[in-house]
Amino acid sequence: MKNVILRRQLHVLATVTALTVGVAGAGSVQESPSARGCPTAEIFATDNTAIITDPADSRLNTRLTRFDHEVREIIHANGARPGSSTLLDGVFWSGDLKKVTYERSREFDVDQVGRDGLHHVADVLAKQYHQESVLTFRCLPRTSPDTDAVEIQAPGISPRLHDALLADAEARDRLGGGSVTPDGRLILIAPLADLPVARRFTAELGVDWNRAEVRYGDEEFVS
C-alpha cells in the first residue's frame, strides 16, 4: 500500500456490536463480546501506487475486483485461508504534502495463519504490487504479551471524516487518517499508546460507543 495509507496512520472500518467504555478513560476500554469473532488476521492492501489528492479522481471509483481475486489466490497459495474482503475508502493526512490524500483499498480476512505466515503473505503482496508497506493485524486477547494495538470499528462516519481530520492536528499527526466502508463504517487501527487520541477523535466523529467494537491485537507494517 502506498506510504500514506500504510503507516501508523491507517484506520479502517467495518462492523457492528458493542464496546464497553468505563468512565475513567482509555484504560477502562473493554473488549466487546463480538470481538471474539475476529478473524485470525487481517491484511489491508491496495494495488495503487499514485498519491491522490483530488476526492473526485476517477481512480477512487474502482472496486478493485481483479485485485480482490488475485490477493485471495496469493493468500491461498501461501498456505493460509482467505476469508471475506471489504472495500475501503481511505482519507489520510500527508505530512510531506501538508494536505489530505485519498486511497481506495481492501481489507482481507485471513484464517489458518500464524505470525510468520502472515508476515510472508504481506511481504509477497508488497513486492507484487510495488507497495511501500502492507498493514497486517492479528486478533489477540487483550492480555496477550504480543498485543500492541487496537482496531476500533464504528458505523455512520463517512461524511465527517475529511473535515474532522483537517480540524484535529493531534489526530492527523498521531493517527494519520481513517478508512470507511461503502456503507459508512469506520475502521481505525491505533497503537495502544494512542488509544486516548483514537477515542477522542472517534468521539468527535460522533461515534456511538454502544454500536462500536474494539479488537485487540498485534499490528505490523510489512515492507
Instruction: Output the pLDDT for position 161.
Output: 87
Q: Is residue 11 part of a domain?
A: no
Task: Tell how many helices (H) and how many strands (E) occur in the chain.
Answer: 5, 8
Q: Is residue 12 part of a domain?
A: no
Cα of first residue to Cα of last residue in the chain, in angstroms, is 9
- Nearby residues of 175 by Cβ (< 8 Å), 6 or more positions away: 8, 9, 11, 188, 190, 194, 197, 198, 201
Instruction: Output the pLDDT for position 158.
Output: 66
Q: Is residue 9 part of a domain?
A: no
Q: Is residue 114 part of a domain?
A: yes
pLDDT (tens place) for every residue of the chain, 223 residues total:
544 444 444 433 332 222 323 323 334 455 544 455 789 999 999 999 999 999 999 999 999 999 999 999 999 999 999 999 999 999 999 989 999 999 999 999 999 999 999 999 999 999 999 999 999 999 999 999 999 999 999 988 767 788 889 899 999 999 998 899 999 999 999 999 999 999 999 988 888 877 889 999 999 999 9
Instruction: Output the pLDDT for position 45.
Output: 98
- Nearby residues of 97 by Cβ (< 8 Å), 6 or more positions away: 51, 53
Q: Is residue 105 part of a domain?
A: yes
pTM: 0.85
Instruction: Output the pLDDT for position 31.
Output: 52
Query: What domain count does the chain have?
Result: 1
Range of the domain at 214: 26-222
Q: Is residue 206 part of a domain?
A: yes
d(CA 118, CA 109): 11
DSSP H or E stretch at residue 179 = strand 177-180
Instruction: Output the pLDDT for position 211.
Output: 82
Q: Is residue 32 part of a domain?
A: yes
Fill in the DSSP letter of residue 120: H
Instruction: Output the pLDDT for position 210.
Output: 79
Instruction: Output the pLDDT for position 209.
Output: 77
Return the CA Rg of the chain.
16
Q: Is residue 21 part of a domain?
A: no
Instruction: Output the pLDDT for position 6.
Output: 41
Instruction: Output the pLDDT for position 140.
Output: 97
Total count of residues recorded for the chain: 223
